[in-house]
Amino acid sequence: MYYGKLRYSANGSVVYLKDEIYETNDSCITSMRLWSGDECVFIDFCVAIESMDDYVELEKKVEKICNKLRIKITFEFDLPIEVFKYIEGSVDFGDDVVVMVPCLELGVSPLPPVILCDEEVGVLKETMEDDGRIFKYQQMYAAALGKKGLGERHMYLYSILLDLTGDKRQSCVEKLILKLEPRVDTYVVEKEGKAKGSRETLYTKLRNEIGHPRQGAFVRTTGKEIEQCIERFQALVKKAIKDFG
């Protein structure tokens, strides 16, 4: 058996997470440590493999865990972070030591610094023990938060609600929105068609004004409305994923 330690890092905004160690039953990874420092999030992997042939499989497992962890952090804290990248570490094969080429240029997040300190949330444990039921939606949510344009982000978030309802009909999304936020503003539909005269929620109105611009709907006005409600909409979508995913 050959042993080693690999360290991966993701940077951007300042993130302080619970320093956490997780023991695994994996055939290649014996334990992991998630910790924060130097304006980065780090994850250390203690590994044990039987031969050099197992190293490729080990890399695939590590990359998969790093991706799940990045998505989990983004989902739980509304904080997009950079992709985790290898920075140091090796596996000792006696006469041979396998070392990957470190990626030192990790990039800088365009977001302003955000400081998180939550000793109650075991992000690593939750990530490793997640049954995968809502991972698809967490992934979609993380992709939405990665969109710089608020209009595009709003459309991505709305698409998650469409997917959650199953049949992807706007009327079903409206019921879901009203269930989660009963006091959300509603507006009379003025566009010609079967829905004319009915009412639609603020989030659906904005989605329709982006996707199907109607007469009298000005881009500047719509953008301002999205800016004012995007955080509420993100919170609603996150709750929908947790409750109905």
User: Does residue 112 surpass a pLDDT of 50?
Assistant: no
> How many angstroms separate the CA atoms of 31 and 162, rounded?
39
Q: Where are the alpha helices (DSSP H) in the chain?
A: 55-77, 123-129, 135-145, 150-165, 170-180, 202-211, 219-244
Confidence grade of residue 215 (pLDDT, cut at 50, 70, 90)? low
Number of domains in the chain: 2
Q: Do 46 and 94 reside in the same domain of the chain?
A: yes
Q: Do 6 and 124 reside in the same domain of the chain?
A: yes
Neighbouring CB atoms inside 10 A of 91's CB total 22
| Burial class of residue 155 in the structure, from the number of CB atoms within 10 Å of its CB (0-12 exposed, 13-18 middle, 19+ buried) | middle
Q: Do 122 and 9 reside in the same domain of the chain?
A: yes
Beta bridge partners of 36: 41
Residue 108 has a pLDDT of 36
- Kindly report, residue by residue over 171-197, the tens digit of the pLDDT: 999 999 999 999 999 999 876 665 677
Residue 120 has a pLDDT of 58
Query: Of 97, 129, 161, which residue constitutes the final position of a domain?
Result: 129
User: Does residue 236 surpass a pLDDT of 60?
Assistant: yes
Q: Which range, 12-16, 88-92, 128-132, 172-176, has the best average confidence (pLDDT)?
A: 172-176
- Kindly report, residue by residue over 17-62, the tens digit of the pLDDT: 788 999 999 989 999 999 887 778 899 999 998 888 888 899 999 9
Query: Of 129, 153, 172, which residue constitutes the final position of a domain?
Result: 129
Query: Of 110, 129, 148, which residue constitutes the final position of a domain?
Result: 129
User: 134 or 92, which is more confident?
Assistant: 134
Q: Do 159 and 80 reside in the same domain of the chain?
A: no
Average pLDDT, the chain: 83
Q: Do 38 and 109 reside in the same domain of the chain?
A: yes
Q: Do 151 and 196 reside in the same domain of the chain?
A: yes
Q: Do 41 and 81 reside in the same domain of the chain?
A: yes
Angle at 140 between CA 136 and CA 142, to 5 degrees: 115
Q: Do 101 and 59 reside in the same domain of the chain?
A: yes
User: 210 or 108, which is more confident?
Assistant: 210
Full domain range(s) for residue 187 = 135-244
Cβ pair 144, 46 in contact under 8 A: no
Q: Do 237 and 190 reside in the same domain of the chain?
A: yes
